[in-house]
Amino acid sequence: MEQYVEFRGIGKAFPGVQALKDVSFRMNGGRVTALIGENGAGKSTLLKILSGDIAPDEGELIINGERKRFSHPNEAIKTGVSVIYQERQLIPALSVMENIFLDDLPCNRAGILKLKEIRRQTREIIDGFGLSIDPAIPVARLPVAYQQMVEIMKAYRRNSRVIAFDEPTAPLTDAEISVLFKLIAGLRDEGKVVLYVSHRMAEIFQVTDDIVIMKDGRLAETRETAETDERSLISAMVGRDVGDTYSRLSRNDKLGDVLLEVSGLETERVHNVSFTLRRGEVLGFAGLVGAGRTEVMRALFGVDKVLSGEIRLEGETVSFTSPRRAIDAGVVLCPEDRKEQGLILPRSIAENISSPVLKKVSRGAFIDRGAEKRLADAAIERYSIKTPTVEKITYELSGGNQQKVILARWTSDLMTTKVLILDEPTKGIDVGAKAEVYQMVCDFAKEGKGVIFISSELTEVLSLCDRIVVMREGYVNGELTREEATEESVLALAMADAGVM
């Protein structure tokens, strides 16, 4: 029997927000269906209904002819539905093999875990993915990219009939993406229902057969991938023609003197790292997963301990032993993992934006809620954050809107930011919002400040950055100007022997 999933008249409302309204479409087995739309369009809400995280207020979920209304995710899993969210659902303290088999741990009659069997099966899955991961290593010790692969392997192990991927490639390298796409092709060939959510247009055209376009909580239209093109797709998604995102940017052509200088930086994970950042410059950092880019930024922000080397800001030697000291000096970081490191998810948008400047929005020992609200209102307008109120809990926002909250925090009118470090700032952000972030980066640089920009999307780095520092295995392997940098030259440095160029 052909597998299929159908949403019929789905509606869902949250306080102050109609997240979904009369959404109906069908996904067939043996085909990969893309679900696209701007942040806040309703994609995440649909995924949560499919996975059993929430129930719809209206409408029906039909799976292979049967009406389903899951009261919790485990019901969906037992029905054969797996949803791989961009925010990982792993237990960091447990091992890779324990996470992969968490909902179905093999035990003997006495209830004792069959550890050898779990390890053997995990090793088979890992080998099938072509990865080098110890099944017994705690997930917390893995890079973000490998954690994402563990999440995917967990769903693969269940042999689900319906698998949904939510921005799965955001932290992955090209090699890992290739493995993932082969897996998806195999699932399609097996006749399974595959739902693929991504803001990366190239991936949509590479891996999907059908496209479902959402806008403002409603179904805008459906198309076959082979019968459309990127420009018309973006226009249908955002309601306007965004044109060539990069060619329309207003860049800074005049760089000032050296703002930040790093010499011989050593931590447990990076070695002899040296570079400079000029006023008005966007400095890119490129490299493969595990190259050390994030670790350098964590050291600059006072998270990781600096063992040796020197950091000079505006000509003065500085030592950031904590993020608070870095923030006070004007060095801030938008981290790669916004959920774990960037946001206070149970608190409101206003509280997250005001968190580094509480003294400036307080009267004595009390926070001036009016001043805090004005600060947040300005940020919401500047970044087009989709929310009915500044009091909305940050956890309830879409991933892209959460990212905007972090950017708004560090560039608010009350901040004195001099160096803005962006680690994967467009992960999970839609096409229209990406253009806004790119222009924000350029505007910030034109004010005479400095930006350090890390991205796994090489096109972003090549298009936005004035210079590119390329790292491999904890070392700086080379540096390229905008004129010198091409995909080939960056990848050549990223893959060359570390520390020899």
pLDDT at 15: 76
- 3-state class (DSSP) for residue 471: strand
DSSP string, 372-415: HHHHHHHHHHHHT---S-TTSBGGGS-HHHHHHHHHHHHTSTT-
Band of residue 495 on the pLDDT scale cut at 50, 70, 90: confident
Domain span at residue 225 reads 4-238
Q: Is there a single domain that holds both residue 486 and residue 413?
A: yes
Q: Which residue has the higher pLDDT, 168 or 26?
A: 26
Q: Which residue has the higher pLDDT, 8 or 230?
A: 8
d(CA 334, CA 429): 14
Q: Is there a single domain that holds both residue 286 and residue 197?
A: no
Whether pTM > 0.85 for this model: the answer is no
Question: Could you give phi then psi for residue 294, rounded to 5 degrees?
Answer: -60, -40
- Average pLDDT across the chain, whole number: 89
Q: Is there a single domain that holds both residue 222 and residue 311?
A: no
pLDDT at 340: 79
> For the chain, how many structural domains are there in total?
2
For residue 438, is it left (φ>0), alpha (ψ between -120 and 50) or beta? alpha
pLDDT at 500: 46
Assigned domain for 248 exists = no
pLDDT at 392: 92
Model pLDDT for residues 353-406, shown as the tens digit of each residue: 999 999 999 988 899 999 999 999 998 888 888 888 999 999 888 777 888 899
Residue type, 481: T
Q: Is there a single domain that holds both residue 34 and residue 95?
A: yes
CB 422 within 8 A of CB 461: no
Q: Is there a single domain that holds both residue 400 and residue 317?
A: yes
pLDDT at 396: 85
Q: Is there a single domain that holds both residue 274 and residue 187?
A: no
Assigned domain for 500 exists = no
Q: Say whether pLDDT at 4 is over 50.
A: yes
Assigned domain for 328 exists = yes
Assigned domain for 501 exists = no
Q: Is there a single domain that holds both residue 171 and residue 29?
A: yes
Question: Could you give phi then psi for residue 189, rounded to 5 degrees?
Answer: -65, -25
Kindly report the CATH number assigned to the domain that includes residue 194: 3.40.50.300
Q: Is there a single domain that holds both residue 106 and residue 167?
A: yes
The residue assigned the tokens 């159908």 is: 6
pLDDT at 501: 44
Q: Say whether pLDDT at 247 is over 90.
A: no
Q: Say whether pLDDT at 1 is over 80.
A: no
d(CA 118, CA 100): 9
Assigned domain for 250 exists = no
Q: Say whether pLDDT at 499 is over 60.
A: no
Model pLDDT for residues 99-144, shown as the tens digit of each residue: 999 877 777 777 777 888 899 999 999 998 888 899 999 999 988 7
